[in-house]
Each structure stands twice: as C-alpha cells, then as structure tokens.
Structure 1
Amino acid sequence: MFDAASTALLHGVRVVDLTHALAGPLCTHQLHCHGAEVIKVEPPGRGDDFRARPFGRFDCINGGKKSVTLNLKSAEARAVLARMMAEADVVVENFRPGVAAAFGLDWEAMKAANPRLIYCSISGFGQSGPMRDMPAIEWSAQSVSGIADAYLSDNDDAMDLGIGMLDPGTGFMAFSAIVAALYRRTQTGEGGRIDVAMIDTAFLLGANAIAAALLGGPVSLGRRPTMARYRTKEGRIFIASLHPRWFDRLCRLIDAPDLPEDPRFADHEAREANAEALVAALEEKLAAKTALDWEALLVAEGIPAGACRSFTEFAATEHAQQRGLTETFGTETGEIEAVGAAFRLDGSPTGVRGPTPALGASTDEVLAELGYDADAIARMRGAGAI
C-alpha cells in the first residue's frame, strides 16, 4: 500500500483504474489525492494514450499512482485483472459500453466475486438509451448536448471548439459518486454500480439555462454593457455594474459622474439600447489605469470586479499559493506543478504521493501481492500477457 496518512479521507481504499485519457484519470487522481491507493492498468508497450501528450497532460492527473501493464486480449491477463478486482474496493472504467462484458469483467460478474465492490463506469452517453453506443469525446458530447450551442455562435470559427469542461466535470462527478457509494457501503455493507455520463454532466452544468430553455426562454443573458470584460490602460478587467447602485458607484470611481444622468444610460432599458456607446464611454475612462489598479479600487467599493488573468498569472498569485491550488511532484523527466485535490476537509490531509509512474513500473509488485511468483510473472511477460 502507498504511504497515505491514516487520517486521509480515503486511507485504506484500493482502486483499480481501468481508465485512459482525461475524465477517468481525473476521477482517480482525486481519489488518490484524498488517500486512496490507485493501481492504473495500462496496455503493455504504449500505455494510456495521454502518455504521448506534451506539457504534462498525462503527468498532472496520474502522479502517485501505480502502473501495471496487462494485455486484456490475453485470457491470462484478464484472469489477473479479475483477481485484482476481487480484492479492490473500487473499480473505475471508461471502456465503450459493452466492452467490459465482452472481457468477462462487467459489473454483474465482478459483483458475484466481490459484493462490496463499487464499480464506476464512465462513458459519453451512459450505459443505457439509444445513444449509448455513440463514440464520444468532450467536443462531440458538447455538441450533441446543447452546451456548445449555448455559448458558441453559428458565426464563430468552425475550428473554435470552445472550453473543455465535460471531461473534468464528469471526472469529478464520478469521484463524488464513488465517495457517496463508499459512505453507503458503511451503512449496508454492499457495493454498487455507478453510471456516469458526459451527457448527464452537460445537463448538470447547464441546469439553469436548460430550465429557462424548456420554459421557452433564452439560454443565456446575452451581451450586457454593464457586465463585461472592459479594456483598460493595460489588460482587461471584468466589472459587473448591473444594479443601479453599482453603476452609480462605478461611474463615480472612474470620474464619469454624469453618465447615469445621460438619457442614453439613465436606466436599464436605455443602457441596453445603447450598449456599444456605453462600453465605449466606460473604456475611455478605464484607459486611465491598469486592470490591476482598477481591481483594487473597485473591490474596495464592493463592486464585483477582477482583472483578467491567464492560468499562469493566477497560479503565481499569493491567493493561489496560500490556498495550495497547485503542488509540485516528480515525473519521469523532472518535476511538474499541477492541480491537486479539489477541496479540503478539516483534519484530512490531501496531496500527490510519489512521482508519475513509469509504464508498468509496479507490475511485478502488484502481481506478487496477488500471489504470483517470479516464475509465473516471467512466463506471463514472455507470453505478452503483461
């Protein structure tokens, strides 16, 4: 077992990770960060497809896991995996629906061997329904679900895919469901099957807009002159001055006290009708200071505002550092700074324990724990099973 603090939320929980790419590994990364032991099962030779991705895209969500290589085309490798699953607390898989059953590793088979097992399946469109077998990645699920339609215009560049949100959102949804299932197991002694789908996550993320759309309303608030990312002397700043008191206060702070009295901007309807003129008038005044300067002034007056930053700029802030939003750990080629646990629970330590695993680095160790001797392991390796 990994050296996880005994007070960590998931200390003592063993997870078999059959996932690849992003959503599944992000789920098991969160389980690891909260103390679980995660055994990542990968194909021999090539491993998780994301291993080949540049700039730490594999390392950032696989640090501290154990890597075991199994060729699931081999009956002997599948038998090894079945033994691993029989001794696990949690299994997370993101095979296409039906693939696990074809391997004899589906929920029904594993439940018979391990009634306490929590078996989480992550897919694009779920384990049921007429779209179940549709191939799915982040962008296809966004397009089909309506999420992309809610924030991308038909006039946008066809190659502008939008913001990746369903992979991480689905991964965290699966993590949350697993924690809930572990809690239920403490009450019933039984495991359970979890069905998590990107398409379901899309509807959760869009819940507010979907409710409006189903009632015949707009899915977004549209462009609003009093809630925008305005240009300044240096950089942009987001400012929300929707309420009259905020708008009046903003105009006073930027030395434009007459704007609220201008007939074009005197009330909400007038400001909406003259949106471009209002933005131009505000930006003319905002050009006197930088975004960071304005942020300090506006926030002190209670106006929702913030200088627009890049990921690297915000990661360097004192706020991000104090909250521990990133942490540094080892990889095969050096070190990486990456996001750790998504929340903190008082009295329960979190963190990435150990480096990103080399492909198959823990195969012999884990198989030995399962009772395979050195000769058996060598024979399986020679046969291409591991």
Structure 2
Amino acid sequence: MSADAASPGPLSGIRVIDATHMLAGPYCTWLLGALGADVIKVERRGAGDFTRIIAPFRDQKSIYFMSVNRNKRSLTLDLKSPRGKAIFARLLKGADVFVENNRAGVMDRLGFGYGAAAELNPRLVYASISGFGQTGPYRNKPSFDAIAQALSGMMSITGEETGAPARVGASIGDIASSLFATIGVLSALQQRTRTGRGTFIDVAMLDCQLALMENAVARYLNAGEVPRRLGSRHPLIAPFQAFQTADEPIAVCVDTNEQWERLCGALARLDLLSDARFPDGSARAANHAELEPILAEIFRSRGRAAWLDALDEADVPASAINSVPEALADPQVVSRGMVTEIPAGSGHRFVGVPIQMPATPLPEEKAPPELGEHTDAILRDLGFSQPEIEALRAEAVI
C-alpha cells in the first residue's frame, strides 16, 4: 500500500475495491473510507460515476458526487477489455473488501461474480447491493430509491392522513441498503479474523426498507393491523406529533405518563389528567381524534418560542421543526461538528461522519477524487512500470 493510501483509523490497513455508482454503493464505501480504509474507486474510462454529471455543481464539480465519494482514490478502467479484466483481477487479489451495486448478474457477466472472485482471493469480503437482491423473481429488474419505498409499503405509510402516498424526503432506500451493507462488511471482516476466509454479502434495497418498517410490519403480522398514513402522528402513542402554534409548528413527543402529567401542567390543563379518555399513551392514541383538537387549540394560543420555553422548563420532549438551514445552524449540531469542509478552505461543505470515537479519532476526511486521479499511483502499487502504464493508456484500457 502506498504512503498516499495509508491513513489512521479503525479500518487502517483494509483495502476496499469500489465498483459502485450513484448512491446505494458509494455511501457504503464513503463510510468505510471515513473509518480509515483505503478505498479504490474503479470508474468507467472517460465518463466515470454517473453522478459526476448531475447538477447542481460547485466549482464545476457535482455536489452529489462529491458528497458520497470522499475518502477514495479513483482508477479508470475498461472492465470489458481483456487487459482491463487482468488489472481488475490483480486488484481483487490484493483486496480485503469488494463492494458493487449493479443489477444481479452484471458482475458474473464481466467474469467477477463471487465465485470467480473467491477463487482469486479466498479472503475477500464481497458485498453486492442491488434493488432486489441476487435471488427471487425480481432479481434482474432495475430499481431506484422511490421504487424500493413504493414496493415495500413505505410510501403507503408516509404522508398526510387524507393525502396521497409520499416518498420519504431523504433517499432512505439507497442509504439504508448502504448502512446494512456496511454492517455486513464489518461483521464479515470480524468473522475472517476467526476463519481466515471471506464471504459473500447480498443486500437488497427492498429487504432493507422492510427492515426499517419493523413496527409497521410486526403490527400487521401479529395483530392484523394494516398500517396507514398518519401525517406526523405516531400510530401507538399520543400526543406524539407536530402541532401548529401561533406562528411556526413544533413537534411534541409524550411517551410516558410522567411526561403526560408534565405536559398537562405546562398547558395549564390538569383536568386532562382525570379525563377517562386519556389515562395512558395507548388510550390517548386510540382517542386521538378527541385529544388532538383540544391540544391543537391550546398550542395555537402562543408562538413557537414561548411554547418551546414552557415545554423545556417542564422537561417535555419538544422541538422546533427546522428547515435544513435552521438544522445546520442549531447549536447542538454545531457543537457536534456535523458540518465539515473538505478540503479545508475549499468552501465545499458536507455533512460529517456521525460516528465519534474520542479514544480512537477518525482520520481527517479527504476530498473526492478527480476522475482517474490516482490511476498511475494505483497501477504502480500493483507493480506496473511507467512505460507499461502509458501503453495501457494508449490502448484505452485506462
């Protein structure tokens, strides 16, 4: 491994070959890189990751691409050419982890499915992220975040009660599969320390959405309750939702009877404590149609700031409903250092890694690579001479 690739961190010394694109795969390898792994992003010669051309741009660079491709080195390679395949095989032989997020069968057709890769390197941890997984009737279908949210039922429980189904505002179909894949990779690396062998990890966006919906799925399977859209309201607890104040809305979450007592005190409505309709969270949820109008009228009597002060004083969980700019300027977010500039002084700012390890600080994040920026250095690591590298470039292999 070159000095350029070396970095401190929990995954220092782990080399990841990244054949991912768009979001579901790159988010996973961004995290692995942030934890200290040497991530080599293998991109299409001439074009690279599809997101490199997605607007908006900052300094002629795609913000989408930059956000999830930090902490990586870029190698351009024609995986359809014999010499390109030979180089890729050499990469896999020296790697610890391989991550790809193509449709099922794509890597097999290229000659680098798990079976072939494991023959090259039995210690390789091989993670495949796809819309529907490597098995089942949908395995070859294309998928995107909204498809995963729609098919899983996630969209059916998202949105206002009387409104249309809605996509969750963030790309949780992509990101959830990245997170589960990351967990799988870390678990497989731990297993490898015991067995000496790698393994195959098959993560499907659809499966991950169902996992995120654990409570909704469990209620249906075990109680026959069909989950539906409830707006901001919780299906099992009340009050646990957004309320409009005299100016801006707030979120109020009351989970215990002690919190309910404190809320009634803050609202100057202690009479609600003896109301037979609202003795506990389950009853309040069952009778939300009667409780919600009472609370809504009270909250409309004062502004957001006044209510948040009163609820904070009463130790009732409540919050402003921030816009993205408000969230990023929030004192708690600022104190945790959740916005990072990469590289320093560039003006390119992104959300930081949400993992803090005081006793083992994570390495400083690195800027996303230019297309093919590290091709020569990576090939030199693999033993190629500069004349050989130039010949590969002339043959359009790299």
TM-score of the two chains, using structure 2 as the length reference: 0.87
Q: Give the match's secondary structure for 2:396.
A: coil
Cα deviation per residue 1:233-292 (whole Å; 9 max; x = unaligned)? Answer: 33211112465553443243234555667898798469534255324422333xx232x4
Q: Is the 8 A contact 2:158 2:167 kept in 1?
A: no
CA pair 364-242 structure 1, distance change in 2 beyond 3 A: closer
Alpha-carbon offset, residue 45 of structure 1: 1.7
Matched residue, 1:207 = 214
Matched residue, 1:161 = 167
Alpha-carbon offset, residue 46 of structure 1: 1.5
Alpha-carbon offset, residue 339 of structure 1: 2.4
Q: Is the 8 A contact 1:341 1:351 kept in 2?
A: no
Please give the residue correspondences for 1:1-386 in structure 2 after superposition, counting only pairs within 5 Å.
1=2, 2=4, 4-6=6-8, 8-55=9-56, 56-152=63-159, 156-157=163-164, 160-163=166-169, 164-215=171-222, 216-219=224-227, 222=230, 223=233, 226-241=239-254, 243=256, 245-257=258-270, 268=283, 271-275=287-291, 277-285=293-301, 288-290=302-304, 292-330=305-343, 334-386=346-398
Cα deviation per residue 1:274-323 (whole Å; 9 max; x = unaligned)? Answer: 255324422333xx232x44223313322121111123222222211222
Task: Pick which of 63-72 and 8-17 moved more.
Answer: 63-72
CA pair 357-41 structure 1, distance change in 2 beyond 3 A: same
Q: Is the 8 A contact 1:60 1:336 kept in 2?
A: no
Distance 2:202 2:290 in 1: 49
- How many pairs are equivalent? 380
Alpha-carbon offset, residue 338 of structure 1: 1.5
Q: Give the match's secondary structure for 1:367.
A: helix
Distance 2:94 2:275 in 1: 72
- 1:28 maps to a residue whose letter is T
Q: Is the 8 A contact 1:330 1:356 kept in 2?
A: no
Q: 5+ unaligned residues in a row in structure 2: which ranges?
A: 57-62
Q: 5+ unaligned residues in a row in structure 1: which ranges?
A: none
CA pair 132-155 structure 1, distance change in 2 beyond 3 A: farther
CA pair 293-106 structure 1, distance change in 2 beyond 3 A: same
Alpha-carbon offset, residue 221 of structure 1: 8.7
Q: Is the 8 A contact 1:19 1:25 kept in 2?
A: yes
Q: Is the 8 A contact 1:23 1:170 kept in 2?
A: yes
Q: Is the 8 A contact 1:5 1:349 kept in 2?
A: no
Q: Is the 8 A contact 1:72 1:78 kept in 2?
A: yes
Alpha-carbon offset, residue 382 of structure 1: 2.0
Q: Is the 8 A contact 2:246 2:299 kept in 1?
A: no
Q: Give the match's secondary structure for 1:97.
A: coil
Distance 2:68 2:267 in 1: 44
Q: Is the 8 A contact 2:14 2:96 kept in 1?
A: yes
Alpha-carbon offset, residue 199 of structure 1: 1.3
Cα deviation per residue 1:337-371 (whole Å; 9 max; x = unaligned)? Answer: 22232323342222453211111101111111112
Cα deviation per residue 1:37-70 (whole Å; 9 max; x = unaligned)? Answer: 1010111221111112234211111112101111
Quick one: percent identity of the two aligned structures?
Answer: 34
Task: Pick which of 223-232 and 148-157 moved more.
Answer: 148-157
TM-score of the two chains, using structure 1 as the length reference: 0.89
CA pair 293-76 structure 1, distance change in 2 beyond 3 A: farther
CA pair 64-381 structure 1, distance change in 2 beyond 3 A: same
- 1:22 maps to a residue whose letter is L
Q: Is the 8 A contact 1:329 1:352 kept in 2?
A: no
- 1:323 maps to a residue whose letter is R
Alpha-carbon offset, residue 3 of structure 1: 5.8
Distance 1:183 1:248 in 2: 47
CA pair 263-358 structure 1, distance change in 2 beyond 3 A: same
Q: Is the 8 A contact 1:63 1:352 kept in 2?
A: no
- 1:115 maps to a residue whose letter is P
Distance 1:5 1:363 in 2: 19
